[in-house]
Structure 1
Amino acid sequence: MWVAGVDGCRAGWIAVLMRVDDPQAHRIVTASTLAAIADATEKPEVIAVDMPIGLPERTEGSGRLPEQLIRPLLGQRQSSVFAIPSRRAVKAEDYGQACSIAAATSEPPRKVSRQGFAIFPKIREIDALLRARPDLMPRVYEVHPELAFWALNGRQALPEPKKVKGVPYGPGMALRRALLGRSGLLPEPLIHASPPRGAAQDDLLDALAGLTVALDIARGGGQPFPDPPGRDAHGLPVAIWTLRSPKVHP
Protein backbone atom coordinates (compact mmCIF):
# COMPACT_ATOMS: atom_id res chain seq x y z
CA MET A 1 0.00 0.00 0.00
CA TRP A 2 1.17 3.51 -0.88
CA VAL A 3 0.31 6.66 1.05
CA ALA A 4 1.03 10.34 0.44
CA GLY A 5 1.61 13.52 2.41
CA VAL A 6 0.62 16.59 0.38
CA ASP A 7 1.01 20.35 0.69
CA GLY A 8 0.32 23.27 -1.61
CA CYS A 9 3.28 24.94 -3.34
CA ARG A 10 4.10 27.31 -6.20
CA ALA A 11 3.94 24.46 -8.72
CA GLY A 12 0.51 23.47 -7.44
CA TRP A 13 1.02 20.59 -5.03
CA ILE A 14 4.00 18.76 -3.56
CA ALA A 15 3.56 15.14 -2.50
CA VAL A 16 5.79 12.64 -0.75
CA LEU A 17 4.66 9.13 -1.65
CA MET A 18 5.79 6.10 0.34
CA ARG A 19 5.06 2.41 0.61
CA VAL A 20 3.77 1.57 4.07
CA ASP A 21 5.72 -1.70 4.26
CA ASP A 22 8.93 -0.35 2.73
CA PRO A 23 9.98 3.20 3.74
CA GLN A 24 12.87 3.02 1.27
CA ALA A 25 10.29 2.98 -1.54
CA HIS A 26 9.41 6.64 -1.78
CA ARG A 27 9.48 9.61 -4.12
CA ILE A 28 8.88 13.34 -3.98
CA VAL A 29 6.79 14.86 -6.77
CA THR A 30 5.05 18.07 -7.72
CA ALA A 31 1.82 18.20 -9.70
CA SER A 32 -0.40 20.95 -11.01
CA THR A 33 -3.55 19.29 -9.64
CA LEU A 34 -4.43 17.16 -6.64
CA ALA A 35 -6.21 14.76 -8.99
CA ALA A 36 -2.86 13.97 -10.62
CA ILE A 37 -1.50 12.88 -7.23
CA ALA A 38 -4.57 10.77 -6.46
CA ASP A 39 -4.24 9.11 -9.88
CA ALA A 40 -0.44 8.66 -9.74
CA THR A 41 1.03 5.30 -10.68
CA GLU A 42 1.28 4.39 -6.98
CA LYS A 43 -2.46 5.14 -6.41
CA PRO A 44 -1.96 6.23 -2.77
CA GLU A 45 -4.72 4.77 -0.63
CA VAL A 46 -4.32 7.42 2.09
CA ILE A 47 -3.69 11.03 1.02
CA ALA A 48 -3.06 13.41 3.91
CA VAL A 49 -3.34 16.95 2.59
CA ASP A 50 -2.66 20.25 4.32
CA MET A 51 -5.76 21.99 3.02
CA PRO A 52 -9.26 22.49 4.45
CA ILE A 53 -11.87 19.94 3.40
CA GLY A 54 -15.56 20.42 4.09
CA LEU A 55 -16.97 23.94 4.12
CA PRO A 56 -19.67 25.45 6.33
CA GLU A 57 -22.74 27.27 5.05
CA ARG A 58 -22.30 29.65 8.00
CA THR A 59 -19.63 29.93 10.69
CA GLU A 60 -20.05 30.53 14.39
CA GLY A 61 -17.10 31.65 16.46
CA SER A 62 -13.54 31.43 15.11
CA GLY A 63 -14.00 29.17 12.10
CA ARG A 64 -14.95 25.54 11.64
CA LEU A 65 -15.13 23.20 14.65
CA PRO A 66 -11.82 21.42 13.76
CA GLU A 67 -10.00 24.77 13.80
CA GLN A 68 -11.56 25.73 17.13
CA LEU A 69 -10.58 22.39 18.66
CA ILE A 70 -6.91 22.30 17.65
CA ARG A 71 -5.93 25.94 18.24
CA PRO A 72 -5.70 25.62 22.05
CA LEU A 73 -3.35 22.65 21.63
CA LEU A 74 -0.80 24.57 19.59
CA GLY A 75 0.09 27.40 21.97
CA GLN A 76 1.98 30.13 20.13
CA ARG A 77 1.65 28.17 16.87
CA GLN A 78 -2.16 28.52 16.79
CA SER A 79 -1.98 31.53 14.46
CA SER A 80 -1.08 29.07 11.68
CA VAL A 81 -4.64 27.70 11.84
CA PHE A 82 -6.67 29.98 9.58
CA ALA A 83 -10.40 30.47 10.16
CA ILE A 84 -12.09 29.13 7.03
CA PRO A 85 -15.30 31.02 6.23
CA SER A 86 -18.51 29.90 4.52
CA ARG A 87 -18.59 28.11 1.20
CA ARG A 88 -20.01 31.21 -0.49
CA ALA A 89 -17.09 33.31 0.76
CA VAL A 90 -14.53 30.73 -0.38
CA LYS A 91 -16.08 30.79 -3.85
CA ALA A 92 -15.50 34.55 -4.15
CA GLU A 93 -12.47 35.36 -6.29
CA ASP A 94 -12.28 39.01 -5.19
CA TYR A 95 -10.87 39.73 -1.72
CA GLY A 96 -13.33 42.51 -0.90
CA GLN A 97 -16.25 40.37 -1.99
CA ALA A 98 -14.96 37.44 0.04
CA CYS A 99 -14.74 39.64 3.13
CA SER A 100 -18.28 40.97 2.64
CA ILE A 101 -19.77 37.51 2.20
CA ALA A 102 -17.74 36.07 5.09
CA ALA A 103 -18.96 38.83 7.42
CA ALA A 104 -22.56 38.29 6.34
CA THR A 105 -22.38 34.52 6.91
CA SER A 106 -20.64 34.45 10.28
CA GLU A 107 -21.54 35.13 13.90
CA PRO A 108 -19.89 37.24 15.14
CA PRO A 109 -19.18 38.82 11.73
CA ARG A 110 -15.64 37.99 10.60
CA LYS A 111 -13.79 39.05 7.49
CA VAL A 112 -11.14 36.96 5.70
CA SER A 113 -7.41 37.10 6.39
CA ARG A 114 -5.13 37.74 3.42
CA GLN A 115 -3.28 34.48 4.18
CA GLY A 116 -6.52 32.54 4.21
CA PHE A 117 -7.74 34.16 0.98
CA ALA A 118 -4.47 33.13 -0.73
CA ILE A 119 -5.34 29.44 -0.37
CA PHE A 120 -8.97 29.78 -1.52
CA PRO A 121 -8.16 28.54 -5.08
CA LYS A 122 -6.74 25.30 -3.66
CA ILE A 123 -9.68 24.91 -1.27
CA ARG A 124 -12.02 25.30 -4.24
CA GLU A 125 -9.99 22.74 -6.19
CA ILE A 126 -10.13 20.05 -3.51
CA ASP A 127 -13.81 20.79 -2.80
CA ALA A 128 -14.71 20.40 -6.49
CA LEU A 129 -12.59 17.25 -6.84
CA LEU A 130 -14.17 15.41 -3.91
CA ARG A 131 -17.69 16.43 -4.91
CA ALA A 132 -17.10 15.25 -8.49
CA ARG A 133 -15.34 12.05 -7.39
CA PRO A 134 -16.88 10.83 -4.13
CA ASP A 135 -14.84 7.62 -4.49
CA LEU A 136 -11.84 9.68 -3.34
CA MET A 137 -13.46 10.69 -0.04
CA PRO A 138 -12.32 7.57 1.87
CA ARG A 139 -8.75 8.20 0.67
CA VAL A 140 -8.31 11.93 1.31
CA TYR A 141 -7.78 13.30 4.84
CA GLU A 142 -7.30 16.90 5.97
CA VAL A 143 -4.22 17.44 8.14
CA HIS A 144 -2.36 20.39 9.63
CA PRO A 145 1.46 20.19 9.95
CA GLU A 146 1.60 21.88 13.34
CA LEU A 147 -0.92 19.38 14.73
CA ALA A 148 1.21 16.53 13.37
CA PHE A 149 4.30 18.00 15.02
CA TRP A 150 2.29 18.49 18.22
CA ALA A 151 1.64 14.74 18.25
CA LEU A 152 5.26 13.90 17.38
CA ASN A 153 6.40 16.20 20.22
CA GLY A 154 4.60 14.18 22.86
CA ARG A 155 1.38 16.15 22.39
CA GLN A 156 3.11 19.39 23.32
CA ALA A 157 3.11 22.66 21.36
CA LEU A 158 6.41 23.44 19.68
CA PRO A 159 8.44 26.28 21.24
CA GLU A 160 9.92 27.46 17.92
CA PRO A 161 8.05 28.79 14.86
CA LYS A 162 8.66 27.31 11.43
CA LYS A 163 8.76 30.74 9.81
CA VAL A 164 9.39 34.27 11.00
CA LYS A 165 7.90 37.11 8.94
CA GLY A 166 7.29 34.70 6.08
CA VAL A 167 10.87 33.41 5.98
CA PRO A 168 11.86 29.87 7.06
CA TYR A 169 13.37 29.98 10.55
CA GLY A 170 16.41 27.72 10.90
CA PRO A 171 15.96 26.56 14.53
CA GLY A 172 12.25 25.87 13.97
CA MET A 173 12.91 23.92 10.78
CA ALA A 174 15.66 21.92 12.52
CA LEU A 175 13.38 21.11 15.46
CA ARG A 176 10.71 19.74 13.11
CA ARG A 177 13.23 17.64 11.18
CA ALA A 178 14.51 16.26 14.49
CA LEU A 179 10.96 15.26 15.48
CA LEU A 180 10.49 13.50 12.15
CA GLY A 181 13.76 11.67 12.68
CA ARG A 182 12.93 10.61 16.24
CA SER A 183 9.57 9.24 15.11
CA GLY A 184 11.31 6.43 13.24
CA LEU A 185 8.68 6.66 10.53
CA LEU A 186 10.75 8.16 7.71
CA PRO A 187 14.24 7.51 6.32
CA GLU A 188 16.77 10.19 7.29
CA PRO A 189 17.75 10.99 3.66
CA LEU A 190 14.09 11.77 2.94
CA ILE A 191 13.83 14.09 5.95
CA HIS A 192 16.83 16.07 4.70
CA ALA A 193 16.00 15.94 0.97
CA SER A 194 15.86 19.04 -1.20
CA PRO A 195 12.47 20.03 -2.62
CA PRO A 196 11.83 19.74 -6.36
CA ARG A 197 11.47 22.80 -8.56
CA GLY A 198 8.34 24.76 -7.81
CA ALA A 199 8.33 23.92 -4.10
CA ALA A 200 10.09 25.39 -1.07
CA GLN A 201 11.83 23.61 1.79
CA ASP A 202 8.98 24.38 4.19
CA ASP A 203 6.47 22.96 1.68
CA LEU A 204 8.39 19.69 1.68
CA LEU A 205 8.59 19.71 5.47
CA ASP A 206 4.82 20.13 5.72
CA ALA A 207 4.27 17.31 3.21
CA LEU A 208 6.53 15.07 5.33
CA ALA A 209 4.47 15.93 8.40
CA GLY A 210 1.35 14.93 6.49
CA LEU A 211 3.06 11.71 5.44
CA THR A 212 3.53 10.67 9.09
CA VAL A 213 -0.22 11.06 9.63
CA ALA A 214 -0.98 9.13 6.43
CA LEU A 215 1.25 6.27 7.64
CA ASP A 216 -0.49 6.19 11.02
CA ILE A 217 -3.95 6.17 9.44
CA ALA A 218 -2.93 3.38 7.05
CA ARG A 219 -1.79 1.30 10.03
CA GLY A 220 -5.11 1.67 11.79
CA GLY A 221 -4.30 4.76 13.85
CA GLY A 222 -5.11 8.39 13.25
CA GLN A 223 -7.05 10.79 15.45
CA PRO A 224 -9.61 13.23 14.04
CA PHE A 225 -10.68 16.54 15.56
CA PRO A 226 -13.62 16.31 16.10
CA ASP A 227 -14.07 12.60 16.72
CA PRO A 228 -16.13 11.43 14.94
CA PRO A 229 -15.66 13.77 11.98
CA GLY A 230 -18.52 16.00 10.95
CA ARG A 231 -19.97 16.37 7.44
CA ASP A 232 -20.72 19.47 5.44
CA ALA A 233 -23.87 20.07 3.38
CA HIS A 234 -22.39 18.08 0.48
CA GLY A 235 -21.33 15.11 2.59
CA LEU A 236 -17.63 15.99 2.68
CA PRO A 237 -15.82 15.11 5.92
CA VAL A 238 -15.03 17.95 8.33
CA ALA A 239 -12.09 17.00 10.57
CA ILE A 240 -8.38 17.63 10.95
CA TRP A 241 -6.40 14.43 11.49
CA THR A 242 -3.19 13.73 13.35
CA LEU A 243 -1.28 10.72 14.65
CA ARG A 244 -2.91 8.70 17.39
CA SER A 245 0.34 6.91 18.24
CA PRO A 246 3.50 8.80 17.20
CA LYS A 247 5.67 5.72 17.84
CA VAL A 248 3.75 3.36 15.55
CA HIS A 249 6.89 2.06 13.84
CA PRO A 250 9.99 1.95 16.09
Structure 2
Amino acid sequence: MVTVLGVDACPGGWLTVELRDGCFAEARAVTTLRSLLPVAASGGVAVVAVDMPLGLLETGWRRADTEAAALLGPLRGSVFRVPPRAVWLEATYAAAAAWTAHRIAHGHAHSLPSPPEHDADGRPVAIWY
Protein backbone atom coordinates (compact mmCIF):
# COMPACT_ATOMS: atom_id res chain seq x y z
CA MET A 1 0.00 0.00 0.00
CA VAL A 2 1.28 3.48 -0.91
CA THR A 3 0.25 6.35 1.36
CA VAL A 4 0.66 10.02 0.44
CA LEU A 5 -0.30 13.24 2.23
CA GLY A 6 -1.34 16.37 0.36
CA VAL A 7 -1.01 19.55 2.41
CA ASP A 8 -2.39 23.03 1.76
CA ALA A 9 -2.66 26.15 3.87
CA CYS A 10 -6.02 26.98 5.41
CA PRO A 11 -7.25 29.44 8.05
CA GLY A 12 -5.64 28.42 11.32
CA GLY A 13 -3.05 26.08 9.88
CA TRP A 14 -2.90 23.33 7.30
CA LEU A 15 -5.38 20.94 5.74
CA THR A 16 -4.07 17.45 5.01
CA VAL A 17 -5.61 14.86 2.76
CA GLU A 18 -4.35 11.30 3.00
CA LEU A 19 -4.57 8.94 0.05
CA ARG A 20 -3.94 5.21 0.25
CA ASP A 21 -3.30 3.52 -3.07
CA GLY A 22 -4.80 6.58 -4.76
CA CYS A 23 -8.04 6.51 -2.77
CA PHE A 24 -9.20 9.03 -0.18
CA ALA A 25 -8.50 7.80 3.33
CA GLU A 26 -8.69 10.80 5.66
CA ALA A 27 -8.68 14.58 5.90
CA ARG A 28 -7.66 16.58 8.93
CA ALA A 29 -6.59 20.06 9.94
CA VAL A 30 -3.35 20.69 11.83
CA THR A 31 -1.91 23.91 13.19
CA THR A 32 1.72 23.42 12.11
CA LEU A 33 3.61 21.60 9.39
CA ARG A 34 5.93 20.28 12.09
CA SER A 35 3.00 18.38 13.63
CA LEU A 36 2.82 16.27 10.44
CA LEU A 37 6.30 14.84 10.88
CA PRO A 38 5.34 12.15 13.42
CA VAL A 39 2.32 11.22 11.27
CA ALA A 40 4.48 10.90 8.19
CA ALA A 41 7.22 8.94 9.98
CA SER A 42 4.97 6.51 11.82
CA GLY A 43 2.46 5.69 9.10
CA GLY A 44 4.77 4.72 6.28
CA VAL A 45 3.92 7.81 4.25
CA ALA A 46 5.80 7.70 0.94
CA VAL A 47 5.33 11.39 0.04
CA VAL A 48 4.25 14.58 1.79
CA ALA A 49 3.34 17.13 -0.91
CA VAL A 50 3.01 20.71 0.34
CA ASP A 51 1.28 23.20 -1.96
CA MET A 52 3.32 26.39 -2.14
CA PRO A 53 5.36 25.98 1.06
CA LEU A 54 5.85 29.67 1.79
CA GLY A 55 8.99 30.85 3.52
CA LEU A 56 10.71 27.53 4.08
CA LEU A 57 14.00 28.59 2.45
CA GLU A 58 16.33 31.17 3.92
CA THR A 59 17.62 32.20 0.49
CA GLY A 60 17.26 31.27 -3.12
CA TRP A 61 14.64 29.11 -4.75
CA ARG A 62 13.27 25.64 -4.16
CA ARG A 63 15.05 23.06 -6.30
CA ALA A 64 11.70 21.45 -7.12
CA ASP A 65 10.42 24.73 -8.62
CA THR A 66 13.58 25.22 -10.70
CA GLU A 67 13.56 21.65 -12.00
CA ALA A 68 9.83 21.71 -12.76
CA ALA A 69 10.20 24.98 -14.68
CA ALA A 70 13.10 23.55 -16.70
CA LEU A 71 11.12 20.39 -17.48
CA LEU A 72 8.08 22.38 -18.66
CA GLY A 73 10.03 24.54 -21.11
CA PRO A 74 7.62 27.05 -22.70
CA LEU A 75 5.05 26.32 -19.98
CA ARG A 76 7.51 27.13 -17.17
CA GLY A 77 5.39 30.17 -16.27
CA SER A 78 2.85 27.80 -14.72
CA VAL A 79 5.32 27.06 -11.89
CA PHE A 80 4.83 29.58 -9.10
CA ARG A 81 8.24 30.24 -7.59
CA VAL A 82 7.98 30.86 -3.87
CA PRO A 83 10.14 33.72 -2.57
CA PRO A 84 12.52 33.02 0.31
CA ARG A 85 11.56 33.62 3.94
CA ALA A 86 13.01 37.17 3.98
CA VAL A 87 10.22 38.38 1.69
CA TRP A 88 7.49 36.90 3.93
CA LEU A 89 9.09 38.49 7.00
CA GLU A 90 9.14 42.01 5.58
CA ALA A 91 7.32 44.40 7.90
CA THR A 92 5.35 46.05 5.12
CA TYR A 93 3.82 45.18 1.82
CA ALA A 94 5.94 47.94 0.26
CA ALA A 95 9.16 46.25 1.34
CA ALA A 96 8.04 42.89 -0.04
CA ALA A 97 6.90 44.60 -3.24
CA ALA A 98 10.32 46.26 -3.57
CA TRP A 99 11.95 42.84 -3.48
CA THR A 100 9.59 41.67 -6.22
CA ALA A 101 10.14 44.87 -8.24
CA HIS A 102 13.88 44.22 -8.15
CA ARG A 103 13.26 40.75 -9.64
CA ILE A 104 11.00 42.22 -12.33
CA ALA A 105 13.55 44.91 -13.21
CA HIS A 106 16.29 42.31 -13.62
CA GLY A 107 14.16 39.99 -15.74
CA HIS A 108 13.75 37.32 -13.05
CA ALA A 109 9.98 37.58 -12.66
CA HIS A 110 7.08 36.76 -14.93
CA SER A 111 3.45 37.80 -15.00
CA LEU A 112 0.06 36.16 -15.41
CA PRO A 113 -1.36 37.11 -17.82
CA SER A 114 1.66 37.70 -20.00
CA PRO A 115 1.90 40.38 -21.17
CA PRO A 116 0.08 41.94 -18.23
CA GLU A 117 -3.20 43.73 -18.73
CA HIS A 118 -3.36 47.42 -17.78
CA ASP A 119 -5.86 49.31 -15.67
CA ALA A 120 -7.52 52.60 -16.68
CA ASP A 121 -4.43 54.52 -15.46
CA GLY A 122 -2.02 52.40 -17.51
CA ARG A 123 -0.62 50.41 -14.57
CA PRO A 124 0.07 46.72 -15.21
CA VAL A 125 -2.45 44.39 -13.58
CA ALA A 126 -1.05 40.92 -13.10
CA ILE A 127 0.19 38.34 -10.66
CA TRP A 128 3.98 38.60 -10.57
CA TYR A 129 6.08 35.61 -9.62
TM-score (normalised: structure 1): 0.31
Report the CA distance between 1:96 and its aligned residue. 0.9
Question: Which residue of structure 2 aligns with residue 92 of structure 1?
Answer: 90
Count residues with an aligned counterpart: 102
Q: 1:73 aligns with which of 52, 72, 75?
A: 75
In 1, distance between residues paired with 2:83 and 2:35?
27
Q: Deviations over 1:149-192 (max 9, x none)?
A: xxxxxxxxxxxxxxxxxxxxxxxxxxxxxxxxxxxxxxxxxxxx
Question: Which residue of structure 1 aligns with residue 15 of structure 2?
Answer: 14
**Contact map agreement 1:56 1:85 (CA 8 A) in 2:** no
In 1, distance between residues paired with 2:101 and 2:68?
18
Report the CA distance between 1:91 and its aligned residue. 2.9
Structure possessing the higher radius of gyration over alpha carbons: 2
Alignment of 1:158-237 (within 5 A): none
Identity of aligned residues (%): 28
Q: Deviations over 1:18-60 (max 9, x none)?
A: 334x947x1111111112222236363420111247648468x
Secondary structure of 1:85's aligned partner: coil
Report the CA distance between 1:4 and its aligned residue. 0.8
* Residues 93/17 of structure 1: CA separation in 2 closer, same or farther (3 Å cut): farther
Give the structure with the larger helix fraction.
Answer: 1
In 1, distance between residues paired with 2:97 and 2:51?
23
RCO higher in structure (CA 8 A, sep ≥6) = 1
In 2, distance between residues paired with 1:29 and 1:2?
15
Question: Which residue of structure 2 aligns with residue 49 of structure 1?
Answer: 50
Question: For the aligned residues, what is the CA RMSD?
Answer: 4.0
Secondary structure of 1:8's aligned partner: strand
In 2, distance between residues paired with 1:74 and 1:102?
18
Secondary structure of 1:39's aligned partner: helix
Report the CA distance between 1:68 and its aligned residue. 3.8
In 2, distance between residues paired with 1:74 and 1:88?
24
Question: Which residue of structure 1 aligns with residue 29 of structure 2?
Answer: 30
Give the structure with the larger strand fraction.
Answer: 2
Residue type of the partner of 1:38?
A: L
Question: Which residue of structure 1 aligns with residue 127 of structure 2?
Answer: none
Report the CA distance between 1:71 and its aligned residue. 7.5
Secondary structure of 1:84's aligned partner: coil
**Contact map agreement 1:4 1:15 (CA 8 A) in 2:** yes
* Residues 52/3 of structure 1: CA separation in 2 closer, same or farther (3 Å cut): same
